[in-house]
Amino acid sequence: MDASRTRRTFRTAAALGSCCLALVSGCSAFGGDTAEDGSTAQAAQAAAVPVAAADLQNQYQKVIKDVLPSVVQIQASRDLGSGVVYDGNGHIVTNAHVVQGEKKFKVTTANNEEPLTATLVYSYPEQDLAVIRLDKVPGGLKAATFGDTEKVEVGQITLAMGSPLGLSSSVTEGIVSATGRTVSENQEGGGTGATIPNMVQTSAAINPGNSGGALVNLDGQVIGIPTLAASDPDLGGSAAPGIGFAIPGSMVKTVADQIIKQGKVVDSGRAALGISGRTVVDVNYQPAGVAVVTVKPGDAADKAGIRPGDIIIRVGDDDITTITSLAESLAVDRPGQKKTVTYSRNDVERTVEVTLGEQ
């Protein structure tokens, strides 16, 4: 499934309340030995429903009140997106495709009506993450709390916070639809073309401008940075409703901490073959593999004997047909891991074991 830049839609807490009411009414029909007892049980259960709905609503509002002040709007010269306050020193994490190649930005925080200025610290397009820093740290700036991605489970309620379509401090809700997704961005419309592993899939609506904002659980923890929405080819490439993706919070912390401490990413944790390549097609013009264009001397492919002109057709158990499928196969691996690579040279297939390098 292709992925496009961020989009979203709305659902309401009232809908959840109505669902609870229907379930409770259905159960109460079987309660009690007499009509009077049944009526009493129905009345008692019906009275409990608004309390449950109010509890959920109060929890939503508490999370929003706690976290929304940590979500900012970022204005570049050609684009607008969102960001999350990372610490009390004015560092803000966002998507690389929000900052693109620019160095200076205007940032609107929850506590300041007038935009503040910020400067790029470092952009890491390979993971579509970037850190900028406010030139002057305002009073009351509140850093967000990031959660442990390993504890994110399918079915958890999520809130997406950001500035979709320029509407600052907007919130939508949904659930975690899946975890561990590997997704490749398009390069169209300013995308980085990155292949990102372990993304959190959510039904919380995502729209342009949500990029770089916060995907939050009901504990008030940021579990991801909304980055992509799926596109449906049957709908002319428009967004597929309710299918959005967020870079997991643990990965955000790993990258942001390195940028803040080192000024750049020094340990990507991402595996690589050490080649550049291009997709090749067969006689029916169907993608059929990745032709090796260059091999980095001394890197993984070079040590395994892979040379320019070879066509990679399989990595481990994954069939490789395009440069994207190669990137997606390697995205879930770690540097130092051993993988078998099958390639074709002069129409003869060969298989070698490769100790993967680092991206």
Catalytic residues: 97, 128, 211
Token pair of 306 as six digits: 């892979």
Whole-angstrom Cα distance, residue 276 to residue 301? 11
Residue 76 falls in which region: left (phi positive, over 0), alpha (psi -120 to 50) or beta = beta
Residue whose structure tokens are 């959840």: 16
Whole-angstrom Cα distance, residue 24 to residue 129? 45
269: CB partners within 8 A, 6+ apart: 254, 334, 335, 358
Whole-angstrom Cα distance, residue 74 to residue 249? 20
Of 245, 255, 216, 226, give the one whose Cα is nearest residue 98. Answer: 226
DSSP E strands in 135-265: the ranges are 145-146, 157-162, 170-184, 195-202, 214-216, 221-232, 238-248
Token pair of 79 as six digits: 């684009």
